[in-house]
Chain A
Amino acid sequence: MNLTVLEMGDKKKTLGVHLCWNCQQETGPSPFCDRCLKIQPPGPEMDYFTFMGLSLVPKIDLKALEEIFHNLSRKLHPDFYQDKSEREKALSLENSAVLNRAYRTLRDPVRRAEYLVQLEEGPDAISGNHPPQELLEEILEYHERLEELRGLSPKDEGRREEMAQGLEQVKAQFQRKEADLFQGLEDLFERWDQKEQEARRALLEETKRLLSKRNYIRNVIRDIEDALTPEEASA
């Protein structure tokens, strides 16, 4: 779930250009003023890719991303603003929060893809509530097994054990499907730099389909895990 709603569109043109609070001169999207080098507030319209100095494509070299993250951390982290003004302290905190959130989102392929889709189509673009057609058979089977396990009396240890083993297998099956999905996403990322509007739209739709499917599978896996590990009495 990503609750930060980013409004794109016209604002892209003027992305991040604003007046520096310190020297009152116009400055760009960097976290520091182009002229007086003072730390700036992260623009509300700025997306995570731009914040990290990347272009808006989903294929990312994770090693390079980590390096960017470390470098920006060394510049933005509140540890290094102890002797600065209250305003700069607050700005360092804000920027660090955005940086950490951006890194968390971008380093994970699924979160990154979700984020990109949401940038284009808004926060409700991906659902996880509809069972994917091609998995109907497996899903029905898993529902049956889950129902039976839940209906078993606690005394029926032997049968319980058997059912649990069966469910473990179903879980492994779904996990394999999830792994396939990850590969599918990576393949999509390779084709992302399509310029044509039509091709882009198709790619986006395909990404959305994969993500919805993945969400569904993840919920199934979680349900199975919950059923297999009885909840403790208290948190």
Chain B
Amino acid sequence: MSVIIGIDLGTTKSVVAYMEGGKPRVIPDAKGNPILPSAVAFTGEGILVGEPAKRRALARPQETVYSVKRFMGKGLEDVKSDLVFLPFHLFPEHLDVVRFEVGERQYTPPEVSAFILKELKQRAEAHLGTEIKKAVITVPAYFNDSQRQATKDAGRISGLEVLRIVNEPTAAALAYGLNLRKQGTIAVYDLGGGTFDISLLKIKDGIFEVLATGGDTHLGGDDIDNRLIDFLREDLEREGKLSLRTSEVTLQALKEAVETAKCQLSEAERAEIAVPLPGGAGEFRRALDRSTFESLASPVVERTVPPCRQALKDAGLRPEDIDEVILVGGSTLIPIVRKTVEKVFGKVPHSELNPREVVALGAAIQAGILAGGIRDMLLLDVTPLSLGIEVMGGVIGVLIPRNSTIPTHAQEVFTTYVDGQVSVDIHVLQGERELVKDNRSLARFQLKGVAPMAAGLPRIAVNFLLDANGILNVTAKDQRSDKEQSIEVKPSYGLTDEEVDRMIQESFEHAEEDMGARLLIDAKTEAQTVLQAAKKALKEGTHLVLEAEEKNIQEAICGLEEALEGEDRHAVRDRLDRLNNVTLHLAEVLMDEGLSRSVKDRRAEEILER
């Protein structure tokens, strides 16, 4: 079977891993960096992903989309509060799916995520030297059906078949189970950039059974950053005589600065914040000590406590029943987070495996299980939210309670209310509240082609099946005729299959222009290396070349440096080739000299030895 990769598609950072010799391994980029910032920049030249996109955001924030995970499976109304901090422009005419407006084009969150997935796919292909077509992708345990479906769509658009959607905390538990042979009852506390999950699991003889899960898909390190931004906003606006609402570049710089300060404060007692002010107005500088930071972060961290208590209650466990608490997600590096976890569970939490990489490692293990390479491990996860249908009076009738092990199903028999009625509407919801309006609408199903009969006579059995991804599948059967009943599905949020197909098509069509930006970066990186080598060679070999040749090389160096200032990849390539050509002779003579010198040196050594 071909290689299946495991991907942690995070709010702020993403990681890809695979199984090698029975062990999960993270795949780094060409420079050895395992972490890909989850940022995508849409430039006139094409699309940038990761670090270059993040750098681009500092100069051109309107062109860069980050934290796209917060928008997955959401409608316009859901995300209004986020936009206060984000410089994105949303296309206002679609209410059911968020659309980012970048330049001439619009992108849905699955399309933006697909660029990140594509980058990770290419990284894996370059590393493994083989084409990758299948993946396991992780999502927060508390993601609802629409958010999971959107993640699966992102995979399809990127050219990956998503074999399984795995919950992040359970993926982490898999990694701990395999690497450290953990057994017993464990709690996984996962606080990432944008989401929070708590999962309680029982591990026994290779079976990882999730007992309960809880969380908040809108709670993470980003929220701490936002508190810091809010704290500094007034001072900065006064000193810089500007408004952060309109100064997107300064907002972006402030965002970078507080994030860096937050990370530093996990180790240090103090951190400096420095934000360049526009128009040469100098710099905005503030010192932040840890206690101020903690008083700002504390309300965010405290919000993780009720989901922990609820999960314990749902699992019928007391804190003392938990054998171990494992920390996952970059935000758990913050000391006050660790203190809070210790307070809730009454034991010191730990994180032997890198909290930033452990989820991807777990995804790779699940990929290994699906590929058939791992036979003795099995993950039994649960659905985080109750699934129900709208019943008379605008209330929800629960069919599948939360924390049910998936896959699971429920069957309900429907009939008609009016004589001769030929269709029946079913409204499917997800959530824990009594009233329909307080829950998440998943989809409206219409049972069509019901044989006209007296009211109450038709019997249509509808099967609601939650698969191992936590995604809903609905089938219906006419119990009288035993025939499959046709169903028309209108997802409340998210893309239809046709839309996803169209996006796949588009991604092929735009592939060339999207590649442009990547080729530019590759060319620039190569140019930097060649430039350095040429300068060094010229310094060492001046005595070996004629003046005219030296002048030629100097000119070629200047030419390439000039091209590097611009964004024209063809110019960079041309001048790079030119520099390569004019230095050929120099390289040769240097090598000759080096060879003869090394031979001489060896002789000297030999003589000395004797």
Chain A residues in contact with chain B, CB under 8 A? Answer: 1, 3-5, 70, 73-74, 77-80, 82-83, 93-94, 96-98, 100-101, 103-104, 234-235
Contact = CB atoms under 8 A, between A and B. Distances in A.
Nearest to A103: B405
Contact of B411 (A4, A80, A103, A104): A4
Contacts of B1: 83
A93 B370 contact: no
Contacts of B411: 3-4
Nearest to A71: B207
Interface stretch (B277-285, B431-439, B444-452, B550-558): B431-439
B59 interface: no
B500 interface: no
Nearest to B411: A4
A37 to B, nearest CB: 17
Given A3-B410, A70-B204, A97-B407, A235 B431 contact: yes
B399 interface: yes
B411 to A, nearest CB: 6
B584 interface: no
B378 A79 contact: yes
A104 B467 CA distance: 16
B466 to A, nearest CB: 8
Nearest to B371: A82
Interface string B389-422: 0000000011100001111111111000000000
A162 B509 CA distance: 69
Given A1-B398, A4-B410, A100-B405, A79 B432 contact: no
A70 B412 contact: no
A80 B380 CA distance: 13
B407 to A, nearest CB: 4
Contacts, number: 71
A83 to B, nearest CB: 7
B587 interface: no
A1 B407 CA distance: 19
A73 B207 contact: yes
B447 to A, nearest CB: 17
B370 A82 contact: yes
Contact of A93 (B164, B204, B413, B465): B465
A235 B371 CA distance: 39
Given A79-B369, A97-B409, A100-B380, 15 more contacts: A3-B399, A4-B410, A70-B207, A77-B380, A77-B468, A82-B372, A83-B1, A93-B467, A93-B468, A94-B465, A96-B468, A97-B407, A98-B409, A101-B404, A235-B432
B205 interface: yes
A190 B1 CA distance: 52
Given A78-B407, A96-B407, A3 B465 contact: no
B232 interface: no
Given A73-B207, A74-B378, A78-B467, A97 B408 contact: yes
Nearest to B376: A74
A101 B408 contact: yes
Contacts of B404: 100-101, 104
A37 B161 CA distance: 30
B426 interface: no
In the A-B complex, the 10 residue pairs with the smallest Cβ-Cβ separation, listed nearest first, are: A97-B409, A100-B405, A97-B407, A96-B407, A100-B408, A235-B438, A82-B370, A97-B408, A70-B207, A78-B468
A77 B209 CA distance: 13
A4 B397 CA distance: 14
20 contacts: A1-B398, A3-B410, A4-B410, A5-B413, A70-B205, A78-B407, A78-B467, A79-B369, A80-B372, A82-B372, A83-B1, A93-B465, A93-B467, A97-B409, A97-B466, A100-B404, A234-B438, A235-B438, A235-B439, A235-B440
Given A3-B399, A4-B411, A82-B163, A73 B378 contact: yes
A114 to B, nearest CB: 14
A5 to B, nearest CB: 7
A70 B205 CA distance: 9
Contacts of B378: 73-74, 77, 79
Contact of A101 (B372, B409, B433): B409
Interface string B327-366: 0000000000000000000000000000000000000000
A97 B439 contact: no
A231 to B, nearest CB: 8
A74 B374 CA distance: 12
A96 B466 CA distance: 11
A169 B359 CA distance: 44
Quick one: which of B370, B405, B433, B439 has the most chain A CB within 10 A? Answer: B405
A79 B409 contact: no
B237 to A, nearest CB: 29
Contacts of B380: 73, 77, 100
Contacts of A234: 438
Contacts of B438: 234-235
A80 B366 CA distance: 11
